[in-house]
Amino acid sequence: MRQFDYAAKLSELMTPQVMAAIGDMREHRGKQALYESTHPDVLESLVEVAKIQSTDTSNRIENISTSDKRLRDLMADKVVPRNRDEREISGYRYVLDLIHGSHDDIPISPNVILQLHRDLYRFSSDAFAGRWKDSDNVIAERAADGELVARFRPTSAAATPAAIEQICDEYRSQLEQGTYDPLLVSLMFAFDFVSIHPFNDGNGRMSRLLTLLLLYKSGYTVGKYVSVEKEIERTKETYYEALAASSDCWQSGENDYMPFVTYMLGVLTACYKELDERVVLVSAGGSNEEVLRSYFEHLIGAATKYDILDANPTMSKRTVERLLKKFQDEGLVRKVGAARSTAYKTVR
């Protein structure tokens, strides 16, 4: 069975590139603390938006979705889930709320991980919820000819409980020793968790929820205000490439964690930069029109009305609709798509 030695692997991550990224993270963390004391109203307006985006994108990565309106109603607990997808979305929202509200009190242990998995399916009542996998699984990808090909073989079902116990022990041990930044320990744990693939279903969503929990426990709480899951979805091709690169020789313990760690540090950097932009834009005191003009000037690609509202949470729907009409009349913005696929692009 694969053995885990975090001390040896963490020492390999102590490169100038990684240390510079950690230094940047600490600086961003300090700026966030300043924002929380000087602009608490701005940050508070971002919390629910981030939750909605996190729930939406993390589930969408697994092809689980519903309409924008139903998503918001489910997040606000205004409606009852009406199908399998909505029950799983509601379960994700439940676990995300637990992490947001109680992260410091949630220990990293096998029993807690099982409990969080059970809660992920609390609206579905599946027999496998809160249980380790009972059969071996495989991570496959579809080849050019359409055939499914095994890309990675995770830990066997028989060895899974012991493997999870080991990585939890390694995580706790490294935090107690305090030699390495908890962020690096957390990212190694997150990668090992998804590589073990301990459940029959829900491994991807659980890995992202646990990553968020570990980041919060390490003091990196940008995910409260900017969705880490959304940034992963936006760069998911790179995400899968990083997973594949760090998976090579994982079963023998000879893998390189660097591709996954540097990818995730890049994700966090992007989230902190987005937080900076949002706080600066709103706190600058510009009018709604000025703020939305700036949004479109920096927009790459297209954005739906809900994307625009999520990125500008202090604006009402009516204000956004009024300004969109004005910008279209001016030729600044053009509408693309129709019905549910309607979006807006900057005319350059």
142 DSSP β-pair partners: 148
As annotated, the residues of the chain forming the CATH 1.10.3290.10 domain(s) are: 6-282
Q: What is the pLDDT of residue 327?
A: 93
Mean pLDDT for 57-85 is 92
pLDDT score of 7: 94
pLDDT score recorded for residue 99: 97
**Residue 164 CB neighbour total at 10 angstroms:** 20
Look at residue 82 in the predicted model and tell me its pLDDT: 94
Kindly report, residue by residue over 114-152, the tens digit of the pLDDT.
999 999 999 998 999 999 999 998 887 766 666 767 778
Q: What is the pLDDT of residue 310?
A: 77
Residue ranges of the chain assigned to CATH 1.10.10.10:
286-346
| CATH code of the domain made up of 286-346 | 1.10.10.10
Q: Could you identify the residue written with the tokens 């040896």?
A: 8
Please report the pLDDT score of residue 125 as a whole number: 82
Strand partners, 141: 149
- Lowest-pLDDT range, 40-44, 59-63, 234-238, 277-281? 277-281
pLDDT tens digits along 168-222: 999 999 999 999 999 999 999 999 999 999 999 999 999 999 999 999 999 999 9
The pLDDT of residue 295 is: 83
Strands laid side by side in the 302-303 sheet = 302-303, 343-346, 333-336
Check whether 39 has a pLDDT greater than 80. yes
pLDDT digits (tens, 9 = 90+) for 151-170: 788 999 999 999 999 999 99
Residue 284 has pLDDT above 70, yes or no: no
According to CATH, what is the number of the domain 6-282?
Answer: 1.10.3290.10
Task: Output the pLDDT for position 142.
Answer: 65
